[in-house]
Structure formats: C-alpha cells, structure tokens
C-alpha cells in the first residue's frame, strides 16, 4: 500500500483564498474519483481518499507500485528494442482503451506518468487532470 500525499500550497504568501481551496478540493476529489473508477491491472488501485476541512490531512491511499518511470528508459543515444517499445505501447493503449470505455480521458499522458515494474508490468499513473466524459 502507498500513501500519496498531495500538498496544497497557495500561490501567494497571504494564505489560501476560498477560490484556491475550492479548486484544490475539486482536483483532489476528481483524481480520487477517476482513479478509483478505473479497475485495470495497468492502473494503481485507490483504496481511500482523505481530505479534511483544514487541508492539513490530504492523501490518497493507493496500491504501491515499485516501478521506474518510462522517462528513465529513454536515451536518444541508445534506442530501445522495437519489440519492447511495441509491447509497452500496447499495454498503455490497453489501459487507455479501458479508461475510455468508462469514459475517462487521462489528459496528461507522458513518460513520467508511466511506470514499468521490475517484472515488466506497465502502469499508467497520475489521473490528476483526467476528465470523466459526459456521453449522453
């Protein structure tokens, strides 16, 4: 299990405004809600989300992923094997396809938001700015 703290820091030195606090609250709840809806082996499971009124206790309790960011594998001077790249891309596509069926759009997919575990499993993380689509 992993506890993922989300630190809220106001933009100015004068403390938080109601608008900033509300925006933070909405984004935190959105990430918890979106990530919890996606039940897929390629997305860390969310067990709990805590946000108290004082903003002193704010965290997600999630599945612990012991992985390396995809960014760390990228080296222009040493290209990765095409078969490995294709396999990782296929796993990412599977996760996104599953999320889109819910329907959720990640909106921040990048190498830093993809982890590769020691066993080679691919995990898409950080649904912080994801959108739940309204399909009527």
Per-residue pLDDT reduced to its tens digit, 24-51: 777 777 778 878 888 999 999 988 888 7
Q: What is the per-residue pLDDT across 75-100, written as a single tens digit (0 to 9) for each?
A: 999 999 999 999 999 999 999 999 99
* Prediction pTM value: 0.76
Indicate which residue of 48, 72, 108, 112 is catalytic.
Answer: 108
Q: How many CB atoms lie within 10 A of CB 27?
A: 14
How big is the chain, counted in residues? 136
Q: Which two tokens stand for residue 93?
A: 């596509």
Instruction: In whole angstroms, give the CA distance from residue 119 to residue 100.
Output: 26
Going along the chain from its start, the domains and CATH numbers come out as 2-132 (1.10.510.10)
Q: Which two tokens stand for residue 14?
A: 């004068």
**Could you confirm whether 112 is annotated as catalytic?**
no
């Amino acid at each position: 299990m992993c506890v993922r703290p989300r630190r809220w820091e106001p933009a100015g030195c004068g403390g938080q405004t109601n608008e900033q606090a509300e925006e933070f609250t909405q984004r935190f709840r959105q990430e918890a809600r979106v990530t919890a809806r996606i039940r897929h082996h390629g997305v860390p499971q969310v067990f709990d989300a805590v946000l108290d009124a004082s903003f002193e206790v704010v965290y997600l309790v999630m599945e612990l992923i012991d992985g390396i960011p995809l960014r760390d594998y990228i080296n222009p001077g040493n290209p990765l094997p095409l078969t490995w790249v294709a396999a990782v891309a296929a796993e990412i596509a599977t996760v996104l396809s599953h999320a889109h069926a819910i329907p959720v759009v990640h909106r921040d997919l990048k190498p830093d938001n993809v982890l590769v575990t020691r066993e080679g499993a691919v995990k898409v993380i950080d649904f912080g700015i994801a959108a739940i689509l309204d399909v009527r």
